[in-house]
Amino acid sequence: MFLPIRTNIWPRRPPYANYALIAINVVIFILSYGGPYRYYIAGESIILPIREWAAHWMLLPAAWRAHQFLTYAFLHGGWEHILGNMFFLYLFGNNINDKTGNLWYVVFYLAGAIASGLGHTLINLNSYSPTLGASGAVAAVTGAYLVLYPQTLITVLYWFFFIGTVEVPALYFIGFKLIIIDNVIARLSNSVAYDAHLAGYAFGILITLGLLATRLVGASHFDLWAMIKRWNRRREYREAVAGGYDPFAGAEGRKRVEAREVASPAEQQRLVRIDQIRHQINEYVAQRNIAAAADVYVDLLRLGPEQVLPRQLLLDIANQLAGDRRHAEAARAYEQFLESYRDSEHAEQVELMLGILYARYLNDPPRAIEHLRKALARLSDAGQVKMCREELARLGDQGDILRII
């Protein structure tokens, strides 16, 4: 069994709208819980623990009423049902509320409930089985979380023969565990409206992607839309390299050819070796082997410190070196990135990475503070801002934190 228990980011402002929605759901559940309410499907008697007045709020796909596409989402069939839905709404909804603001969050939640009900009804037009619960609306909110915060870490509690926790990126936990496994592959219960869940997820993901693409919601460098654009750039770059494109050619290449005419034998050997390394990097990139490209890049810098890779490739290699715990080489790559691409959309994250590298691994507090100050002045992500402030505080730079705040 797997249960998500927390995420590694917190809202910057109190999510009042989400708290209000949770409170409204709980109050309506308490008022409507009781019964028993009995209904019949194909001659079979089914009992639900809700009061008779609330039964008219349930959604009946084969005999629907317009108001039911909204009211069904505020009814629940038991304590486990309401507690599970509200916990997931609290877990994923707070940050969506923070991102969109109170009014638009409520609009999005209610629209997700309606879209979920419509999707379930269209797929089950001949069904008289009543549908109730906020799961579809919560799925829409969770889908939005997948799009806006795919790289955040979700702490998951698991228990089989033993109990423990593991951190999983939201993209994989929500995308694979909650959507594909729980609602597509392992449909374990006939009493669960899986189609309503899938309709909610589809609404949340597609609408949020559309809002990001049209810039109606503030984008970040770590949302799914930004990841898709980076994947596309890398794909185009690999295809270009595979087709014979040399990213090191052009004006710089012509200058090097001119220099060879008057270069010493030793310099000529160096330039030949640089050309060989360039081609190696291109080959490894075409093979999607960034680890090998990072190794060769280090050799390239030793021979030609002036050599600069394309922006995304240089960032990928710097991240690879940092992930391999080659801290000094990673710092050098990040520094080169800032020197060459100061106006990049990733500059503040690179400043933060350099600050952490110099503070924690390279024992250079002055340079760490310099980069962390620059990062703090530009960062917008709440989790990264918190990390930056904590690192500055650890380095004893409290005064500067207060001035920036």
Burial, 109: exposed, middle or buried (Cβ in 10 Å; 0-12, 13-18, 19+)? buried
pTM above 0.75, yes or no: no
> CB of 147 within 8 A of CB of 208?
yes
pLDDT at 109 exceeding the cut of 60:
yes
Residues 67, 116: Cα–Cα separation, whole Å: 14
Q: What contacts 382, CB < 8 A, 6 or more positions away? A: 9, 10, 11, 12, 98
pLDDT at 25 exceeding the cut of 80:
yes
Residues 310, 313: Cα–Cα separation, whole Å: 5
Most confident of 135-144, 231-240, 256-265, 368-377: 135-144
**pLDDT 10s digits, 81-94:** 999 999 999 999 99
How do 2-7 and 33-41 pair as beta strands?
unpaired
Q: pLDDT class for 186, splitting at 50, 70, 90?
A: confident
> CB of 390 within 8 A of CB of 403?
no
Lowest mean per-residue pLDDT among 123-127, 147-151, 231-235, 331-335: 231-235
**Ordered structural domains, the chain, with CATH:** 2-213 (1.20.1540.10), 224-404 (1.25.40.10)
Lowest mean per-residue pLDDT among 54-63, 120-129, 160-169, 213-222: 213-222
